[in-house]
Chain A
Amino acid sequence: MDATAEAEMQAQEGNQPNYMLVWAGLAVLTLLEVGVAFVGFSETVTVIILVGLAIWKALLVALYYMHLRFEPPRLVVMVIAPLPLAAILVLAALTDF
């Protein structure tokens, strides 16, 4: 997300983020995903781009729709804590292949 979009997103409607801008971002990223899946990049490049776009979309939902960006730091830490464990669970098992 560029700085302008970030700034616009922080523009408050009262004290709320611009939800429609986030929605537009999610819609565009979904279109991009479908395009990337069928454009014919190598498998590795496709996987990296698609996973990156999916993480970007997930972050938009978590930060702005679930309001994590505006929650107390203690809650944010609590939410982030299990994510490395989840990644380790999958990546450690994947090393078998």
Chain B
Amino acid sequence: MDRMTVPAGMDQAEVGIGVPNMKLGMWVFLLSEVMFFTALIGSYILLRSARPEAFAEPGEVLNVPLTAFNTFVLICSSVSMVKAFAAIEHGDQQGLKRWLLVTVGLGAFFLGVQGYEYFELASHGFVPVAEAYHAAGEPLYGATFYTLTGFHGAHVTLGVLAMIWITIRAFRGRYTQGSHAGVETMGLYWHFVDLVWIILFTIVYLI
């Protein structure tokens, strides 16, 4: 599409690089999130390279099978989100509502499993507090683990809350085949959260 061409349904102010403003804004936000998580993940890699003895082997402390299952849950929530988007693209209101509810449920389930994981780890002394720490490795391990997974969990929590709002709007009939930018924008955020977890799962749990 030519830069100066105004697509149907968009006014001149929305053209920019050929992407609607709301979607472009979300992408710009997500790119800032890329740098945010790069700083966190990069710090983890640096600390682990500098003090390998402070970190336990994969599976020694963390419950890898449980988290692998939780990773699968998040992947399922990504496909349900994109199915919600596909449904409204075809004007399928029932499909939109159904898939959004599934996505909210899976997102909440992911958080529940993460909460259970935190509870189990903390009960075995894997806490980000030096005085109370008595798990394998050193407190640095717990501190970096909770920082990385905690910030991601905060993103999932915000995503679930936003998704609930989107779902309420869907039940009120606010989205149509021709106007569903909110669903698409929400989807971008949700898939990004999934993408970050894919990286975190590999680096924190498997390597």
Residues of A with Cβ closer than 8 Å to B? 13-14, 16, 19-20, 22-23, 26-27, 30-31, 33-34, 36-38, 46-47, 50-51, 53-54, 57-58, 61-62, 64-66, 71-72, 74-75, 78-79, 82-83, 85-86, 89-90, 93-94, 96-97
Contact = CB atoms under 8 A, between A and B. Distances in A.
A58 B198 contact: yes
Contacts of B34: 82-83, 86
Chain A facing B: main interface SS = helix
Chain B facing A: main interface SS = helix
Given A23-B75, A96-B46, 7 more contacts: A19-B79, A26-B78, A34-B68, A37-B59, A37-B64, A65-B194, A79-B27
B155 interface: no
Contacts of A89: 38-39, 42
Interface residues of B, number: 48
Interface in B183-207: 187-188, 191-192, 194-195, 198-199, 201-203, 205-207
Given A46-B207, A61-B195, A34 B65 contact: yes
B147 to A, nearest CB: 16
Contact of B191 (A14, A37, A66, A79): A66
Interface of B: 1, 17-19, 24, 27, 31, 34-35, 38-39, 41-42, 45-46, 49-50, 58-59, 64-65, 68, 71-72, 75-76, 78-79, 81-83, 86, 89-90, 187-188, 191-192, 194-195, 198-199, 201-203, 205-207
B75 A26 contact: yes
B206 A33 contact: yes
